[in-house]
Structure 1
Amino acid sequence: MSPVSGRGLHHVTAVATDPTRNLAFYRDVLGLRLEKRTVTHEDPGAYHLIYGQNRGLPGGHLTFFSWPSSAPAPRRPDETEFVSFAIDPSTFGWWEEHLGRSSVDCRRGALPSGEAALLLEDPDGLKLALVGGTAGWAADSAMPAPAAIRGLHAVALSLRAADLMAAILTRVLGYRATGRYGDWSGFAAHDEAGGAFWLHHRSEDGRARLGAGALHHVAFRARDGVHQADIAARLGRLFGIEAGPVKDRFYFRSVDFRGPDGILIEIATDGPGLLIDERPDDLGRRLALPPDLEMRRAELLRLLPPLD
């Protein structure tokens, strides 16, 4: 039985505390575009900030739930989870100087495969890497064109049950293995623009508890509801994993399940998409609310801190 055709990463969501500080870092320092400022569905008094550079097209977004009361995620000496972005490899020096001028510490390092990378952290401690690559975002950045971030390159998870996650990636989500590097395994989406995946095979207990600076969940793309249902059914047949009910997130439909070590994984549809309620040039400029929350706009604007 062949794998369901995968489309790569839909989005990666992490936890932030101060939304103003988060925006200042990702928009003003890294040059990403805030493509949607909205709220979390379960807690509309908290921002859900969605960053990209692809003028609202689906795939490859880094998003944040802004929970000011979140304690920092516990750190371990071998902490290995990170999110990486693709840049032109000739601009490493420019990025070192730019980050230095912005008072952001960075250092030269490497991915598990040996690829050169610039390693840094966001204000809440989320580990990031800038890696030479050609991901497929459109040029829509405040950075000089040669230095602009080109797309979400990869996400890395550290799991005790990494072998199970590897099987889900290759047998359900349409990824292919690209190599084993010590305690690391690499994977690539069959859609070359879909983003890579790294798994660290953790020998000790599983992932630490959730907190600021930690990854909340990872979402993979489905073309539509039929494709999404196929993926969910395959999870059940092959692994006995039952996905939850379809949730209407207005910009997409999602189902989720608990993967290895309890990691939350979503399967999200490409549509309706971020352009359902805003034009490309207007993305992220105002608070966007799903219709069922529009009647609470005035209340939510009082609760949410101003971002600009």
Structure 2
Amino acid sequence: MTGRGLHHVTAIATNASCNLDFYTGVLGLRLVKWTVTHEDPGTYHLIYGDEEGSPGSRLSFFFWVSAVASRRPSSSEHVSFAVAPEAIGWWESRLAACKVPCRQTRTSDGRPKLMLEDPDRTPLALVGTEFSPRTTIWSPPDIPEAFAVRALHSVTLSLRGTELMARILTQVLGFAEVASAGEHLIFSAHGGPGGRLCLHRRRERSRPRLGAGVIHHVAFRARDEADLAAMAGKLQETFGIAASPVKDRHYFRSIYFRGPDGILIEIATDDPGFLIDETRETLGTRLIFPPSLQDRQDELLRILPPLDRVFAR
């Protein structure tokens, strides 16, 4: 791995218990971190990922209980997970049994794909691919390992114009354009988890406001803080884009900037990672407050709603 590619994708949801039930109970993902958001610590931040919660494997959610469903920019904007090609039929049957509607289609390069939505109507896809993850596949008891979700495959962003974002991807974020098909441009940083990204040229005039079921931000990987500073410098020098000061997110350091259409983009370091306060075996099994919020635990516990099935698969 070169330390490039996607670091994580974060979306907006409303009900943490329903979200947990869907992603662990239906899709069989691992909850790798149960924490709160830094800016709004009265709400949960749930993070799903591979066995160690590695950068590139993570999908996370902020929970805004009062968020209304947003008019999404396009059904083309979605998060994709990798499964074995022969698992597509099995997943069609499982999703039907779980009363989750889905439809089978194909990726732009001909791979089988199932489109579905989570309880907040966040668009998702299961992509049949020979993609091999770096770590052991997380497989709950009711999902055969051969059919289990292997890792985060990619994210598709729907933008009114793709030219600027394409240049940022290739000149700053370590991606290369590998294919184009119709209104889609496909980029790759590597062949592992989070190594792909697709840009969709959107026809609608503007990006709608944030709401339930949409992507809040996309984060890309930096090797370390020196690499983070170099990427921030490149953004400023080449594109005149000023990034935020470095934020300490406990599990990584990161910067933020606004990309095309106002989409929020984060660049985050790989380290120190999720194993600094939990073991590999116990990831996601207890609520953890960042050090900056330790003195507010009692207050926050009175505010936070109950979270059912916190030890779910």
TM-score (norm 2): 0.93
Match of 1:140 among 138, 141, 151: 138
Match of 1:122 among 118, 124, 135: 118
Alignment of 1:288-307 (within 5 A): 288-307=288-307
Look up the equivalent residue of 1:285 and give its one-letter code: T
Match of 2:25 among 28, 47, 60: 28
Given that 2:76 and 2:200 are in contact with CA atoms closer than 8 Å, whether structure 1 keeps it comes out as: yes
State whether structure 2 residue 104 is matched by structure 1 residue 108.
yes
Shift of 1:98: 0.8
How far apart, in 1, do the equivalents of 2:166 and 2:257 lie? 16
Match of 1:8 among 5, 8, 23: 5
Show the counterpart of 2:311.
Answer: none
Show the counterpart of 1:220.
Answer: 220
Shift of 1:292: 1.7
Tell me the alpha carbon deviations over residues 253-283 of structure 1, each in whole angstroms, 9 at most, x when there is no partner.
1100000010000000111111111111111
Match of 2:48 among 51, 66, 72: 51
Given that 1:6 and 1:190 are in contact with CA atoms closer than 8 Å, whether structure 2 keeps it comes out as: no
- How many residue pairs align between the two structures? 303
Report sequence identity in percent.
56
Q: Secondary structure at the match of 2:212?
A: coil
How far apart, in 1, do the equivalents of 2:225 and 2:160 lie? 31
How far apart, in 1, do the equivalents of 2:46 and 2:6 lie? 17
Shift of 1:54: 2.8
Q: Secondary structure at the match of 1:272?
A: coil
Q: Unaligned stretches of 5+ in structure 1?
A: none
Match of 1:92 among 88, 93, 118: 88
- Report which stretch shifted further, 188-197 or 44-53: 188-197
* Backbone CA RMSD of aligned residues: 1.4
Shift of 1:135: 4.3
Shift of 1:6: 5.6
Look up the equivalent residue of 2:145 and give its one-letter code: A
Alignment of 1:264-279 (within 5 A): 264-279=264-279
How far apart, in 1, do the equivalents of 2:275 and 2:166 lie? 33
Tell me the alpha carbon deviations over residues 175-218 of structure 1, each in whole angstroms, 9 at most, x when there is no partner.
01111101110011146444210101123313211100000000
State whether structure 2 residue 19 is matched by structure 1 residue 18.
no
Shift of 1:71: 0.8
Show the counterpart of 1:170.
Answer: 170
How far apart, in 2, do the equivalents of 1:200 and 1:115 lie? 18
Q: Unaligned stretches of 5+ in structure 2?
A: 309-313
TM-score (norm 1): 0.95
Q: Secondary structure at the match of 2:281?
A: helix
